[in-house]
Structure 1
Amino acid sequence: SEYVVHLDIGTPPQKFSVFLDTGSTDLWIPSTKCNPVLCPFARFDSTLSSTFTPTDQNFVIKYGIGNATGTFVTDTVSIGGAVIKDQPFGLASTNRDSELLSISDTSSNGILGMAFISLSKYNNTNGKGHGSLIFNMIEQRIITDPIFSIYLGDPSTSENSGEIIFGGIDPTKYTGELLYVPI
């Protein structure tokens, strides 16, 4: 199954649909330098954003079925009404062998990693943010708790009605007692 999150990046915003990944930490999207064959959907044009800041950090993010390479940058990221300033993300110039993106029936064009901050490939040398979207939301006082919850939607409908909540849970989306386990 594919879980897609819609977000805006830059000022003015450029729209992206990215896969949600709980096995990695970093956000990456394709740049205009990425070959359209490898990056067939929306590609970020940094020249259009007044809040874009380059870094001198290259990245390689490897997955079980592919990898993305490029440069880390920072810019404003908006998701579900939350505005995260100076969010680091990978601006991919190549996206190799990623079956996930090529076989998808959606026009998704990147990945939003939601794993532990320790898995981030971003090295905070310029004082701008963390690789983790969640920890930047905490640092900027958008949320108070480093958690997120996912509601996959009502299985009795064919609508894409899932939700992600940053910093909490929606008690109307489950029954019974919520159990927490250390990991």
Structure 2
Amino acid sequence: MKWAIVLCAVVALSECIIQVPLIKGKSARESLEEQGLWNEYKGKFPFNPTRFDDQSLYVSNEQMTNDADLAYFGVISIGTPPQSFTVIFDTGSSNLWIPSIYCSSAACANHKRFNPSLSSTFKNAGKSLSIRYGTGSMTGFEGFDTVVVGGIPVKNQIFGLSQSEAPFMAHMKADGILGLAYPRLAASQATPVFDNMMTQHLVNQDMFSVYLTRNSAVGSMVTFGGVDTNHYSGQIAWIPLSSQMYWQITVDSVTVNGQIVACNGGCQAIVDTGTSNIVGPQADISSMARAVGAHSANGDNVVNCNNINNMPSMVFHIHGQAFTLPASTYVRQVCVCLCVCVCVCLW
């Protein structure tokens, strides 16, 4: 089955286009930074980036790139009558999961929890679920129920109900995660929500698109079944996938001032709505940081905020096309006097 996120070929189906408004909230990292706890958590739960050839990806545990900067989330409902939850629409994972009433972790205590006994359409799948993230984890079990996305009911959708969550999850604004990657990446071989949307002929086309606003402006949107032409101008750049597990593509090179600073000879990357960081091998990330004038400080690449307007652009060369990122898009200000060089998920 072929499908797309503005990345690959489109196959027409029938029915409708579904849109879900997204909220730009504070990321878990931003919340921890405000409380002065980020360095403590970073030390306790060091980032563990995924390697795409890790065979454990094909079995029960799912490893993901990052969850420290998840920030865009929307509302779905599960069950009959519906119980509402905010979820991250994450192209870096494939499972849908939310907290359950059987979870007593601190992360569940400050989020909405699903009560299966209140839903007349809930069915226990009889399977356990364990998902590990770059800086967090959840364990629980799986069930089936009706999941409503953008007002459209997806029947008999499998999802995870957490029974325990890592402490870091307590700082996520969203209740859970709705994965939009391929079935191969799903823990416990769960069928992703979008695959069921296609199978149940709920979308016009086998594609979805994501529009993200900047600086907490309203209007962010995930569109299932098409692309909202109000959110772009010109032509869409279609990039073929190099693997159908993540939304994985080949980056030809990364240049600054015309010089290659990363991906010399090509490298693999994933397009991940679940993180706002550029993540990659230390040598490449260090090279990119040096090229834009950043220096390492406490594990982050730091620049002087006064220099942002004079910093060079990063250019990602992908499938024969150049995608230019000015400094204003790859630097994140974390306080009045300090900026952190926020770096897309590169492998």
Which category describes the TM-score, using the shorter chain as reference length? 0.7 to 0.9
1:29 is the counterpart of 2:95: no
- Deviation track 1:37-58 (CA, whole Å, cap 9, x = no partner) reads 2312110000000000101111
Q: Which position in structure 1 is the counterpart of 2:88?
A: 19
Q: Which position in structure 2 is the counterpart of 1:103?
A: 171
Q: Please, which of 110, 122, 141 is the counterpart of residue 188 of structure 2? A: 122
Amino acid in the other structure paired with 2:73: V
- Deviation track 1:77-128 (CA, whole Å, cap 9, x = no partner) reads 001111100000001101114x3x3333x3x2111111111111233xxxxx
Amino acid in the other structure paired with 1:43: R
Q: CA deviation at 1:36?
A: 5.1
SS at structure 2 position matched to 1:74: strand
Q: How does 1:33-48 map to 2 (within 5 A)?
A: 33-35=102-104, 37-39=106-108, 40-48=110-118
Q: Distance in 2 between matches of 1:147 and 1:141?
A: 12
Q: CA deviation at 1:144?
A: 4.4
Unaligned ranges ≥5, structure 2? 1-68, 242-347
Q: How does 1:1-80 map to 2 (within 5 A)?
A: 1=69, 2-35=71-104, 37-39=106-108, 40-80=110-150
Q: Which position in structure 2 is the counterpart of 1:127?
A: none
Which one has more relative contact order, counting CA pairs under 8 Å at least 6 apart? 1
Structure 1 segments (4+ residues) deviating >6 Å: none
Amino acid in the other structure paired with 1:19: I
CA RMSD of aligned residues (A): 1.6
CA contact (8 A) 2:107 2:171 kept: no
Amino acid in the other structure paired with 1:24: S
Q: Which position in structure 1 is the counterpart of 2:197?
A: 137
Amino acid in the other structure paired with 2:180: M
What's the TM-score, normalizing by structure 2? 0.47
Q: CA deviation at 1:158?
A: 4.7
Q: Distance in 1 between matches of 2:227 and 2:196?
A: 19
Q: How does 1:148-167 map to 2 (within 5 A)?
A: 148-153=208-213, 155=214, 158-167=216-225
CA contact (8 A) 2:83 2:114 kept: yes
Q: Please, which of 112, 134, 138 is the counterpart of residue 178 of structure 2? A: 112
Tell me which protein shows more helix as a share of its residues. Answer: 2
Unaligned ranges ≥5, structure 1? 124-129
Judging changes above 3 Å, is the alpha-carbon distance between structure 1 residues 102 and 135 closer, same or farther for their aligned structure 2 residues? same
Q: Among the aligned pairs, what percent are the same residue?
A: 37
CA contact (8 A) 1:5 1:19 kept: yes
CA contact (8 A) 1:88 1:122 kept: no
Q: Please, which of 227, 232, 239 is the counterpart of residue 174 of structure 1? A: 232
How many equivalent pairs are there?
Answer: 171
Judging changes above 3 Å, is the alpha-carbon distance between structure 1 residues 29 and 158 closer, same or farther for their aligned structure 2 residues? closer
CA contact (8 A) 2:105 2:165 kept: no
What's the TM-score, normalizing by structure 1? 0.87
Judging changes above 3 Å, is the alpha-carbon distance between structure 1 residues 158 and 38 closer, same or farther for their aligned structure 2 residues? closer
